[in-house]
Amino acid sequence: MAINHEEEIPPAEDPGPLNRFRERVRRNPMLNTAWRLGVFTVGATVLAGGLVMMVAPGPGILGIIVGLAILATEFAWAQRALHHARQAAERAKEKALDPRKKRRNTILAVLGGLLAGAAMIAYLAVYDFHLPWNIQDWTPWA
């Protein structure tokens, strides 16, 4: 009696036009190199834009994650970096949703707002602020 250790492999589903295109590109070394270079260029540009947006106005974290996702389609190191970024985001979410820290942050935000409002009222009182409808002399160049 013979023992067959090979498992029966189910028939593959239709991979779709994009997967067929990518397989065709992978079979040609020159096209594969050009494809990977293009993916690297686009991914690195988006990633660099995300890093710039961390200090400039814009969605920096989103740019970094999208850049890593683009790079992760072709590079294993980017897949690992994206995995670490997702884990860090998950930890940050859990930390932000902690009820004690949420309550503390709410109390600090309210106190900070009250303090800023009091400072603004004190500044306006010290420098004799007049509302536009209470101005006695309407001449602009007096």
Percent over 70 (pLDDT), the chain:
83
User: For 16-20, what is the mean pLDDT?
Assistant: 82
- 66 and 105 in a single domain? The answer is no
Q: pLDDT confidence of 52, banded at 50, 70, 90?
A: very high
Separation of alpha carbons 25 and 90, rounded Å: 35
Higher pLDDT, 13 or 83: 83
Q: pLDDT confidence of 113, banded at 50, 70, 90?
A: very high
- 106 and 83 in a single domain? The answer is no
- 58 and 108 in a single domain? The answer is no
- 32 and 79 in a single domain? The answer is yes
Q: Which domain holds residue 24?
A: 17-96
Angle at 111 between CA 110 and CA 114, to 5 degrees: 85
- For residues 80-111, one letter each, b for 16 or more C-beta atoms within 10 angstroms of the residue's C-beta and e for the rest, the string is ebbeeeeeeeeeeeeeeeeeeeeeeeeeeeee
